Structure formats: structure tokens, C-alpha cells
């Protein structure tokens, strides 16, 4: 998608949709939001909607970092303690290792 062709109002609308979509347990949308709109928020010359876009980009980055921290913590705990959890650890596993 080429953001250069969109008017600033549509950029703001698209940015807010991706931000809100991230709350549906889709942190990938926050990553897309940060990557696509970083230049619009922090590099481009000032325009009216830029302040709101900047807010959405910052919040998307914060939400993404929070998700990464939570998932990394869970994966580390699960990998370390799965065998000790016995049957519960096996039920939580997609594939049961031998």
C-alpha cells in the first residue's frame, strides 16, 4: 500500500483502525501500524492529523513491546517447567515430545 496517495484524514483513519485492531489479540497489527506510520508520525513535516497519528504509533509500539514481553516470559516458563507440570504440561503441548 502506498501511503503517499492517501489524504491525511484517511491515513489517520487507517492508523486508528490498526491500533484498535491490535486489541483483538492481534499484536501483528500494531507492528504493521508502527512500520507503516513511523515516517508519517516522526519524519514528515507537520500536518494537522500528525499528532494523533504519533499517539497511535507510540501506543502501538508500547502494546507490541508488552505483548513480546508477555509471550517471551510465557514461552520461557513453559519450556523450562513443562516436564515438571506432568500431565498438565502435556495437555498444554501441541506435540508431546518423547
- The per-residue pLDDT for range 1-43, each reduced to its tens digit, is 788 899 999 999 999 999 999 999 899 999 999 999 999 999 9
Q: Which three cell numbers stand for residue 12?
A: 489517520
Band of residue 97 on the pLDDT scale cut at 50, 70, 90 = low
Three-state SS at 82: coil
| Model pLDDT for residues 44-72, shown as the tens digit of each residue | 999 999 999 999 999 999 999 999 999 99
DSSP per residue, 5-72: GS-HHHHHHHHHHHHHHGGGT-HHHHHHHHHHHHHHHHTSPP-TTHHHHHHHHHHHHHHHHHHHHHHH
Q: Report how far residue 32's alpha carbon sits from residue 45's, in angstroms, rounded to the nearest whole number.
A: 22
Q: Are 54 and 15 in contact (CB under 8 A)?
A: no
Amino acid at each position: 500500500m502506498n501511503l503517499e496517495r492517501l489524504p491525511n484524514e484517511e491515513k489517520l483513519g487507517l492508523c486508528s483502525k490498526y491500533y484498535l485492531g491490535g486489541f483483538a489479540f492481534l499484536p501483528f497489527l500494531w507492528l504493521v501500524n508502527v512500520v507503516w506510520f513511523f515516517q508519517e508520525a516522526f519524519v514528515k513535516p507537520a500536518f494537522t492529523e500528525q499528532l494523533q497519528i504519533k499517539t497511535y504509533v507510540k501506543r502501538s509500539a508500547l502494546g507490541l513491546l508488552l505483548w513480546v514481553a508477555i509471550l517471551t516470559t510465557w514461552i520461557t516458563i513453559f519450556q523450562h517447567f513443562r516436564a515438571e507440570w506432568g500431565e498438565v504440561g502435556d495437555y498444554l503441548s501441541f506435540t508431546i515430545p518423547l
